[in-house]
Amino acid sequence: MPQRSQTLLDPRKSPVQARSAVTVDAILEATIQVLLSDGLQQLTTIRVAERAGASVGTLYQYFPHKQALLFAVLHRHHLKVEQTLTQTAAASHHKPLATMMAAVIDAFLQAKTGRVDEARAMYGIVAELNTREAVREYETRCRAALVAMLKTATDAKFRDLESVVFMLTAAMSGPVRAVVEGGRPAKIVRALPAQLLSLCLGYLEQVKRKN
Amino acid sequence: MPQRSQTLLDPRKSPVQARSAVTVDAILEATIQVLLSDGLQQLTTIRVAERAGASVGTLYQYFPHKQALLFAVLHRHHLKVEQTLTQTAAASHHKPLATMMAAVIDAFLQAKTGRVDEARAMYGIVAELNTREAVREYETRCRAALVAMLKTATDAKFRDLESVVFMLTAAMSGPVRAVVEGGRPAKIVRALPAQLLSLCLGYLEQVKRKN
Amino acid sequence: MPQRSQTLLDPRKSPVQARSAVTVDAILEATIQVLLSDGLQQLTTIRVAERAGASVGTLYQYFPHKQALLFAVLHRHHLKVEQTLTQTAAASHHKPLATMMAAVIDAFLQAKTGRVDEARAMYGIVAELNTREAVREYETRCRAALVAMLKTATDAKFRDLESVVFMLTAAMSGPVRAVVEGGRPAKIVRALPAQLLSLCLGYLEQVKRKN
Amino acid sequence: MPQRSQTLLDPRKSPVQARSAVTVDAILEATIQVLLSDGLQQLTTIRVAERAGASVGTLYQYFPHKQALLFAVLHRHHLKVEQTLTQTAAASHHKPLATMMAAVIDAFLQAKTGRVDEARAMYGIVAELNTREAVREYETRCRAALVAMLKTATDAKFRDLESVVFMLTAAMSGPVRAVVEGGRPAKIVRALPAQLLSLCLGYLEQVKRKN
DNA sequence: CATGAATGAGGTTTCATTCAT
DNA sequence: TATGAATGAAACCTCATTCAT
C-alpha cells in the first residue's frame, strides 16, 4: 500500500442511491471487523469485501484505494467523537469547572467506550497511515470546543488556555487508550471516570494557583 | 509479515566474533533510521540491511525474521527507559512527593526525548506487532519501581497505590507521546516538564484528600 | 519449498467461470512441461506460470502453494492410470490367468507409455514431495482391482492373493520405470510387453506350485 | 543448487592424512543422516557440516560443491553393492540356476537392507541429481557380473542374455525398492527373499521354454 | 452497477559458496 | 587447515488494483 498524499483520500463517489449507502456502510463496518479480528497487516481489500458481502470490484467503486477506505473509517469515528464532545461542551457553558469536566469526561468515555472495538481499531489505522494531518485537525477542533467552554467557567480564569486544554486532553488520552486497548483489570476500568476527573481537576487546581 | 508467537522472537544466534557484534548493532541502528525516514510500511529487510552496510543474508543470520528484528529494537528501548526509571526511582526513596515526581518526570523525559527519533520509532513498532505481552511486562516493571518509591514518600500514604501509579504513568504517557510524535509548538515542548509535574502533583493531591 | 501436511494440499478454489477452467488446465499442463524440460529443481512457480501463459498471481489463485500444484499433477496422473487399470481388470474377470495378465499389462503400459513424458515427470514429483500417503492409497486401490480380478481366474486359486499381487505389481514397476525413465535400447522397449508377461506368468506358475 | 556437468563431480582433493579421512567419512555419514532425518530439500551444507562436527569451510575443503558431496555418497553406496554382487556372482559360477539366483538375491538384499537407511537415502539422491550417467554405469557393471555368471549355468543356456539380465534386475528392483522405502507389512518383508527367488526362477523358466 | 479472474511488482526468506582470520 | 561471518541471487508467495464480462 503506497503512501499517498491526503488530497486523494476522499471517497470516489458519493452514494446517491439508497442501495449504495447501505453497501458503503457495510464496507466500513466490515473494515472495522476485519481490523479487529485479523489486524491491520492481515486486512486485505478482498477480505473486507467478503466480510461486507460484496466483491472487490464493488469496494473499489466507492473507495479509490485501500488508504481511502481506512481513512473513511477513521473520519467517521472522528466525526462521532467530535460531535458528542462539541455538543456536551456547548451544553456546559457557564458552569463551574467540576461540572464541566464531569460532563466532558463522561461524553468522551461514552464516545470511546460505547464501541470499544471501533475505538481500538482506530489506533491501528492511525499508527499505520499518514494520518498526522487529519488527526491534528480533529484534535484541534475538539480542543477548540473545550477552550470555548472553559472560557465561560464560573469559578476560574486561565492564562494560556490553549496549553491548558492541550495538557488536559493529552493527559486524558493516556488512561483512556490504555483501557480501550484492553487488558486492564476491571477495577481500573470501573474507576476510570472518577479517576479522570481527579486527574483533570487536580491539574486545573495546580494551574489556577500559578495564574 | 505473518504474525508469530512471541516465543520465537529471540535473536537467532549470539555473535561470537567481535565483528559480528558491530554488525548487529549497525542493523539495530539502521532499523530505527529506516523506521523514521521511510515508515514501518516501507521498512523492508533489504532496506535495513543496506542502510546498515550489510546484506540481507547477514541480517537473517542474527534475526530469524523481520518481526524479531523489530522486536529486538523495541526491547533495547524498553531496557534503556526501564533502567533510567528504576535507578531514578531507587535514588528517590524517602523523599517528599514533589521531589520524587520531579526526579521521575525528569528521568522519563530524558529517556524518551534524549533520542526522540528512537522513541518515535517505537510507537510504530508497538502498533504493528503483537507486542502486547512485551509492553505489558515492561510497563509492569516500570510501575513496580514507582510503587516501591511512592511507598516511602515522607509526606503521603496511599490506599491502592497500584491504581494511583497506573493513572500517573498513563496520564504522563499522553502528553509525552504527543510531543514525541512531533508537530507540537515549541512553547508546549518547553513547558512540558513543569506541566507534567503539575499534572502529577495535582492528581496526587486529589487522591490524598479522598484517602 | 517447506514440507506441508497433506491435508493442506487441496486446490485453493474451484474455478466457477469458464475461462478459469482453461487456465487451471493450462497450468497443470505447463507444470509437466517444465518438469520434463527443466527438472524439478528448476521448476519455479514463475516458470510454470509463464509457460502456461499466465502470471504467478493467477497460479496462486488456484493452488495455495507449489506443493499443491505438484500434488494436483500427480493426482491427475494417478486417476488416469487407476481408471484404465480398474476398467481393464473388471473387463477381464473370469478369464484364464494368461489372458488376464496380458490385458492388464497392456493397459498398464498404455497408461504409462501413452504419455511417457507425463509418467516420467511423476517419478520426480514422487521423489521430491511427501507423497507417501497419496501413493500408498493409489497403489492400494490398484492392487485391489487386481486382487478382485485374480480371484475369478478360471485356472488358478491363490493363498494370500494380496502378497501375490504386491509382488506382481512391484515386479512390473521395475522394468516399466526403467523404460519410462528412458535411455534403454529400442530392442528392450519393443520386447517389454512380452517380457512382462513372461515375468508375471512365470512368477504365478511358481506360486501356484507351492500352493 | 545449479546443475553441473558430471566431470566436475569428483572430490576436490584426496584426503592424504588420516585425520582428513576421518573427517571426510564423518561428512559422508552425516549426509546420509541428514538426508534421512530432514529430507533432501532440507539438506543444507551447513546442517551436514554441523552434524559431522565440522564447519562448512571444512566441508568445502573436500567437496567442491553440494552435488559432489551427494554424488560421493551415492558412489560409495554403489561401490559397496557392486562389490558384494560381483564377488557373489564370481563365487557362483558353474552352478545350477537356482543356486546362482539364490546366492545373488541373498547378496543383493543384504547389501540393500543391511543399511536400509542408507539405501533409502540413495533413492532421494538419484531422483534429485543428474545421476543418470553414473547410475547407468553402475547398473551396467552389475549386469555384466550377472551375465558372466549366468553364462556358466550348468542347467541352462540363453539367447540374448543381456536382455534377460536386464529384466531380472529391473524386476527385482521393484519389490526391493518398495520394501526399502518402507511401510510394507512385516509379512511381506519376511517373505521377500523367497518371493524374489520365485520371481526370478519363474521368469527364467519362461524364457528357457522360448529359447 | 457488480463481479471476480488476472496481473505483477515487490516483500520475505533461504542457502550455496567464499574468504578473511 | 579450520572456522564461521558475510554475501546476494533467486525462490516463494501476497495483495492492491484493473477490466472484461
Residue C58 banded pLDDT, cuts 50, 70, 90: very high
pLDDT in tens, A118-168: 898 998 888 877 788 899 999 999 999 999 999 999 999 999 999 999 999
Nucleotides on chain E that have an atom closer than 7 A to a protein CB are: 1-20
Task: Please provide the DSSP assignment of C28-42 as one string.
Answer: HHHHHHHHHHH-TTT
Backbone angles phi, psi at C66, to 5 degrees: -55, -45
Residue D2 falls inside a structural domain: no
C22 Cβ within 7 A of any nucleic strand F atom: no
Whether A68 has a pLDDT exceeding 80, the answer reads yes
pLDDT in tens, B43-67: 999 999 999 999 999 999 999 999 9
C49 domain-assigned: yes
Task: Mark residues 34-93 of chain A whose C-beta is closer than 7 A to nucleic acid strand E.
Answer: 54-58, 60-61
pLDDT(D134) > 80: yes
Q: Could you give the angle at the alpha carbon of D41 between the alpha carbons of D37 and D44, nearest 5°?
A: 80
**C40 — pLDDT class (breaks 50, 70, 90):** confident
Query: Does one domain contain both B85 and B57?
Result: no
**Lowest mean pLDDT, pick from A3-7, A198-202, B160-164:** A3-7
- Comparing C-alpha atoms, which of C21, C36, C43 is closest to residue C129? C43
Q: B184 and B169, same structural domain?
A: yes
Is residue C26 within 8 Å of residue C52, measured between CB atoms?
A: yes
Same domain? B21 vs B117: no
Tell me, yes or no, whether D3 lies in a domain.
no
Per-residue confidence (pLDDT) for residue B19, from 0 to 100: 64
Residue C1 lies in a domain: no
The identity of residue A211, as a single letter, is: N
Give me chain A's average pLDDT, please.
91
Residue A1 resides in a domain: no
Mean pLDDT within C91-119: 94
- Band (pLDDT 50/70/90 cuts) for residue C18 is low
> Using an 8 Å Cβ cutoff, are B13 and B71 in contact?
no
A14 in contact with nucleic chain E (CB within 7 A): no
pLDDT bracket for residue B22 (50, 70, 90): confident
Residue D171 pLDDT: 98
Residues B100 and B194 in one domain: yes
**Range with lowest mean pLDDT among A6-10, A174-178, B105-109, B200-204:** A6-10
Distance in angstroms (rounded) separating the CA atoms of residues C161 and B83:
77
A12 compared with D144, residue with greater pLDDT? D144
Closest nucleotide (CA of D67 to C1')? E16
pLDDT confidence bin for A17, thresholds 50/70/90: low
Residue keyed to cell 477480505? A47
The pLDDT of residue D8 is 55
C-beta within 7 A of nucleic chain E, residues 47-106 of C: 53-58, 60-62
Q: Which residue is nearest to nucleotide E5 (CA to C1')?
A: C20
Confidence at residue B153, expressed as pLDDT on a 0 to 100 scale: 96
Closest to A202 (Cα-Cα) out of B151, B144, B168, B175: B168
Q: In a 3-state reduction of DSSP, which class is residue C104?
A: helix
Q: What is the mean pLDDT of residues C175-199?
A: 95
What does the angle CA A22 – CA A87 – CA A84 come to, to the nearest 5 degrees?
A: 45
> Residue D20 pLDDT more than 70?
yes
Half-sphere exposure of A105 (CA within 13 A, CB side): 23
Q: Are residues D25 and D93 in the same domain?
A: no
Secondary structure of A23-90 in the HEC alphabet? HHHHHHHHHHHHHHHHCCCCCCHHHHHHHCCCCHHHHHHHCCCHHHHHHHHHHHHHHHHHHHHHHHHH
Assess whether C39 and C91 both reside in one domain.
Answer: no
Going from the C-alpha of D168 to that of each of B186, D101, D110, the distances in angstroms are 92, 10, 17
pLDDT band of D202, cuts 50, 70, 90: very high
- Helix-strand-coil split of chain D, %, nearest 5: 75, 0, 25
The residue behind cell 536400509 is D116
For the cut 80, the answer to whether the pLDDT of residue B81 exceeds it is: yes
Mark residues 21-80 of chain B whose C-beta is closer than 7 A to nucleic acid strand F: 22-23, 54-58, 60-62
In a domain, B1, yes or no: no
Q: Which domain holds residue B115?
A: 74-210
User: In this structure, are C171 and C151 located in the same domain?
Assistant: yes
B36 vs C147: which has the higher pLDDT: C147
The answer on pLDDT for A211 being more than 70 is no
Tell me the pLDDT band of A63, cut-offs 50, 70 and 90.
very high
Q: Which of B39, B132, B206 sits opposite A198 (nearest CB)?
A: B206
Q: In the predicted model, is pLDDT for residue C116 greater than 90? A: no
Task: Work out if B132's Cβ lies within 7 angstroms of strand F.
Answer: no
- The residue among B89 and A38 whose pLDDT is bigger is B89
Residues D116 and D44 in one domain: no
Residue A14's pLDDT is what?
58
Q: Which residues of B touch A173 (CB under 8 A)?
A: 174, 178
Nucleotide with smallest C1' distance to residue C1 CA: F12
Cα–Cα distance measured from residue D111 to residue D105, given in angstroms and rounded to the nearest whole number: 10
Least confident window among B135-139, C182-186, D45-49, D195-199:
C182-186
| Grid coordinates of B99 | 521531589
CB-nearest partner of D167 from C175, C201, C205 = C175
- The pLDDT value given to residue B10: 67
Q: What is the mean pLDDT of residues B115-135?
A: 87
**Within this chain, do residues C82 and C177 fall inside the same structural domain, yes or no?**
yes
Confidence of residue A95 (pLDDT cuts 50, 70, 90): very high
- Residue C135: pLDDT band (50, 70, 90) is very high
For range B136-147, the mean pLDDT: 96
For the cut 70, the answer to whether the pLDDT of residue C132 exceeds it is yes
What CA–CA distance (Å, rounded) separates B163 from B160?
6
Going by C-alpha positions, the residue among D5, D22, D23 that lies closest to residue D60 is D23
B160: closest CA among B200, B207, B197? B207
Cell, residue A123: 489506533
Q: In the structure, do chain B and chain A come into contact, i.e. share 3 or more CB pairs under 8 Å?
A: yes
CA atoms within 13 A on the CB side of D158: 21
Q: How many structural domains compose chain A?
A: 2
Q: Could you tell me which residues come within 8 angstroms of residue A19 by beta carbon, excluding any fewer than 6 positions away?
A: none
Whether D140 has its CB under 8 Å from any CB of chain C: the answer is no
Domain boundary among C44, C67, C90: C67
Q: Is any atom of nucleic acid chain E found less than 7 Å from the CB of residue D66?
A: yes
Take residue C26 and report the three cell numbers written for it: 493450462
Q: What is the CATH number of the domain that holds D30?
A: 1.10.10.60
User: Average pLDDT in the C192-203 region?
Assistant: 98
- Residue that terminates a domain, selected from B20, B36, B67: B67
Q: Side-chain half-sphere of A194: how many Cα atoms within 13 Å?
A: 10
- Sequence-ordered list of residues with C-beta below 8 angstroms from that of D85, at least 6 positions apart, any chain: D104, D107, D108, D111, D142, D145, D146
User: A135 with A75: CB under 8 angstroms?
Assistant: no
What is the model's pLDDT at position B47? 96
- Out of B67, B88, B111, a domain closes at B67
Same domain for D141 and D174, yes or no, is yes
- Full DSSP string of A83-143: HHHHHHHHHTTTS-HHHHHHHHHHHHHHHHHTTHHHHHHHHHHHHHTT-HHHHHHHHHHHH
For residue D93, is it left (φ>0), alpha (ψ between -120 and 50) or beta? beta
Nearest nucleotide by C1' position to the B45 CA atom: E12
A98 part of contact set with chain B, CB < 8 Å = no
Does A113 share its domain with A199?
yes
Residues B80 and B40 occupy one common structural domain: no
pLDDT at D177 over 90: yes
Determine the residue of chain C that is closest to D190 in CA distance: C163
Strand ranges inside chain C, DSSP E: none
- Tell me: pLDDT of C5 over 80: no
Q: Assess whether pLDDT exceeds 70 at residue D142.
A: yes
- How much is the pLDDT for A69? 96
pLDDT confidence of residue A53: 96
